[in-house]
Chains A and B, each alone.
Chain A
Amino acid sequence: MIVADRKPLTEILEMIDDCDNVLIIGCKGCVTVCNVGGAKEVGILASALKIARKKEGRTLEVGERTIERQCDPEYIELVKNEVGSYDAVISMACGVGPQFLSNAYPDQRFFPAVNTTFFGGAVQHGIWEERCAGCGQCIIHYFDGMCPIARCSKSLLNGPCGGSAGGKCEISKEVDCIWDLIVRKKMENGRLEDLLSVRPPKSWDTARDGGPRRSVREELVQ
C-alpha cells in the first residue's frame, strides 16, 4: 500500500489560516489501512483544528467526508456538490488525491494533510516499512524476495557495502541491512552461487528517472 504520515497540525493550520470553513476529505484506500487518512483520522483532524481555532478565539466550521478512493474520477465526482461550499478543502489521501481533486474542481483550493512516504506494508501493528521503489522493472527474484533498490540505502546491486554491521545499515540501527539478509538467505539455501558474479548496471529508464510514467491497457481504454 501507499504509506503516509499526517503533517504537523501547525503546518495544516497555517495552510487554512484565511479560512472560516473547510471540508476534510478522507480516502478509504491505502491511507485508511495505514491509519492516517480514513474516516476516523478525518474526525480527529477536524476536532484538533477546531480546538486550535477555539483557543485563538476564532471559529472554524469543518465538514467531514470520506470517499472510496481519491485516485479515481468516479469517486471524485461524488463530492461535486460539497467542495464549492467551503473556503478550502483538505485532502487526507496520498499525494494523488489532492491532485485529482484539484484537476476536477479547478476553482477550489485543495491542501494536502499528509506527507506521502513510501510503498510498503505493516511489519507489526503501528509500524510500516518500505518495500518497493516503483522502479518499473522488478528484480526481486534474483535476491530471494528482497528488493535492494528499495531497501538498501545505496540501492546496491552488488552489496553489501563496508558499512554493514550486526545486520544493520550504516545509516541507522533501526534499518536492517538488506544485503546482510540476502547473503544469509542465499547461504542458508545453498544458493550463494547466485551472488558470485557481477550484476550489471540497472536501466533506470522505467523508473521516475525516465520521466513521469503512464500505463495504458488497450483492452480497457474506451
Chain B
Amino acid sequence: MRLSYPSNIKVIQVPCSGRVDILHLLKAIEDGADGVYIAGCLEGECHFLTGNLKARRRVNYVKKVLSELGIEPERVEMYNLSAGEGPRFVEIAKEMTERIQALGPSPVNLKRAA
C-alpha cells in the first residue's frame, strides 16, 4: 500500500501517543505550526492501557489554553485509528489539512509576517 498524504504534514514518531506532552503541542504552536494533531491507537486498545486516553486529555487542555488566548482550538486535535488503517491515516491527514487551510495561517505567524 503506497498511499500518499499531504506533504505539508511533518510526522513525528513516538512509541505511544501517551508520550506526547502538553508542552510538545504548545511548542509546536509557539514555533509556528498552523495545526498539530495526534494519531493514537483506538481507545481501549492502547498497549500501555491508557496512553491514548491521556493524550486526548492533553489535547483538550491545549485546546483550552488556545481558546483562552483567542486562537482557534480546532488547530489541535486527537484522532484514534489502528496501525493497520493506512487509508484512514491518509483520510485524517487530508481532513486536518483541509481544516487548517480553511482556518488560514496561525495568528502566531500572521503578525510575524506583517
Contact = CB atoms under 8 A, between A and B. Distances in A.
A192 interface: no
Interface stretch (B10-18, B62-70, B78-86, B96-104): B62-70
B24 to A, nearest CB: 10
Interface stretch (B1-9, B34-42, B87-95, B106-114): B106-114
B111 A44 contact: no
Interface string B30-74: 100000000000000000000000000000000001101111000
B71 A51 contact: yes
A218 interface: no
Nearest to B25: A47
A22 B74 CA distance: 29
A50 B29 CA distance: 10
Interface stretch (A53-61, A141-149, A163-171): A53-61
Contact of B23 (A9, A10, A43): A43
Given A51-B30, A57-B112, 11 more contacts: A8-B68, A9-B65, A40-B23, A44-B26, A44-B65, A47-B23, A47-B30, A50-B30, A51-B65, A52-B69, A56-B111
Interface of B: 22-23, 26-27, 29-30, 65-66, 68-71, 107-108, 110-112, 114
Interface of A: 8-10, 40, 43-44, 47-48, 50-52, 54-57
12 contacts: A9-B65, A10-B68, A48-B68, A51-B29, A51-B69, A51-B108, A54-B30, A55-B71, A55-B110, A55-B111, A56-B111, A57-B114
